[in-house]
């Protein structure tokens, strides 16, 4: 007999064994796919770094493919399950198993559900921090603060030249996000060791602007973005979009290979 209380249905063992299950079962923390992001405001800044630094941070068999880093500062205004929040994704061009994309060594956001979902499902290296995206007169300013230190500060002029959104892909395909997913069993044995891949779908870019960029990184051992040093700022894009996050795929499984 199905048990119901407080508007909830008690799960069966089969329910628990199915995909998309999250704890606590009566107030699940992890959104099921798909979920939609609406009215997002994004500042994407590209800069040139030391290619040896990117190569060092890429876990084998992932291979860094250049010397360009992208910092995305997102103002998520309306997200299913999670609500409004800010996020920062730091990535560089990479490839694995013939698949080109972008590897993320660092991600920061101030949503506990977003941190948990990114780490548990995608294997993204998300940490709690305080990203922000602000308009200060004629300047767009993106920052990431953690432990009282502004570890990232990026700027660009406010909406000076409108461009085709396709121009953002000229450095590398950041739409395909590669991540290292590492989760252990409770007894310490490795449970999951994978390179995962995810893409956003139903992307609708409503406007896109390009301009010069500045990038400042400050050291922090818990948010070590400084390990991808700034050699030369390239350009910045400010854009607005809607998109959907869907399930991804396993590109490389270390345990199966072993």
User: The domain spanning residue 238 has which CATH number?
Assistant: 2.40.400.10
| Residue 46 is assigned to a structural domain of this protein | yes
| Residue 122 is assigned to a structural domain of this protein | yes
Range of the domain at 185: 32-257
Which residue spans within the chain are E strands per DSSP? 4-5, 8-9, 35-48, 63-76, 78-79, 85-96, 99-109, 126-128, 130-136, 139-146, 149-157, 161-162, 176-184, 190-211, 214-217, 232-245, 249-253
Predicted TM-score of the model (pTM) = 0.94
d(CA 9, CA 26): 9
The residues near 120 (Cβ < 8 Å, ≥ 6 apart) are 30, 183
Q: 257 an active-site residue?
A: no
d(CA 228, CA 50): 7
H helical segments located in the chain: 13-17, 51-57, 112-117, 254-257
Walk along the chain (258 residues) and give the pLDDT tens digit of each residue: 678 898 989 988 898 898 888 888 888 888 888 889 999 999 999 999 999 999 999 999 999 999 999 999 999 999 999 999 999 999 999 999 999 999 999 999 999 999 999 999 999 999 999 999 999 999 999 999 999 999 999 999 999 999 999 999 999 999 999 999 999 999 999 999 999 999 889 999 999 999 999 999 999 999 999 999 999 999 999 999 999 999 899 999 999 965
d(CA 206, CA 199): 19
Pairing of strands 161-162, 190-211: antiparallel
Please tell me which residue in 10, 75, 126, 159 is annotated as part of the active site. 126
**Both tokens of residue 73?**
């500062």
| Residue 39 is assigned to a structural domain of this protein | yes
The reported pLDDT for the residue numbered 242 is 97
d(CA 105, CA 205): 26
Query: What number of other Cβ atoms are within 10 A of residue 146's Cβ?
Result: 19
| Residue 87 is assigned to a structural domain of this protein | yes
| Residue 15 is assigned to a structural domain of this protein | no
Pairing of strands 190-211, 8-9: unpaired
Structural domains of the chain, count: 1
| Residue 162 is assigned to a structural domain of this protein | yes
| Residue 252 is assigned to a structural domain of this protein | yes
| Residue 82 is assigned to a structural domain of this protein | yes
């Amino acid at each position: 007999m199905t048990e119901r209380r407080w508007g909830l249905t008690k799960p069966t063992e089969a329910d628990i064994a199915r995909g998309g299950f999250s704890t606590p079962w009566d107030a699940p923390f992890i959104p099921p796919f798909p979920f939609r992001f609406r009215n997002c405001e994004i500042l994407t800044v590209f800069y040139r770094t030391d290619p040896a630094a990117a190569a060092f941070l890429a876990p084998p068999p992932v291979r860094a493919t250049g010397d360009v880093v992208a910092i995305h500062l997102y103002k998520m205004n309306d997200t299913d399950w999670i609500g409004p929040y800010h996020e920062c994704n730091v990535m560089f061009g990479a490839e694995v198993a013939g698949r080109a994309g972008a590897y993320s060594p660092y991600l920061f956001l101030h949503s506990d559900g977003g941190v948990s979902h990114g780490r548990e499902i995608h294997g993204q290296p998300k940490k709690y921090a305080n990203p922000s995206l602000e308009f200060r007169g004629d300047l767009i300013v993106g920052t990431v603060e953690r432990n009282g230190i502004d570890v990232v500060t990026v700027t660009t002029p406010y909406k000076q030249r409108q461009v085709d959104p396709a121009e953002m892909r000229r450095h590398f395909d950041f739409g395909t996000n590669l991540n290292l997913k590492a989760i252990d069993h409770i007894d310490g044995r490795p449970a999951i060791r994978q390179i995962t891949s995810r893409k956003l779908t139903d992307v609708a870019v409503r406007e896109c602007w390009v301009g010069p960029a500045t990038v400042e990184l400050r050291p922090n051992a818990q948010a070590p973005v400084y390990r991808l040093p700034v050699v030369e700022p390239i350009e910045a894009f400010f854009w607005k979009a809607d998109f959907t996050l869907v399930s991804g795929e396993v590109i490389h499984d270390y345990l199966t290979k072993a």
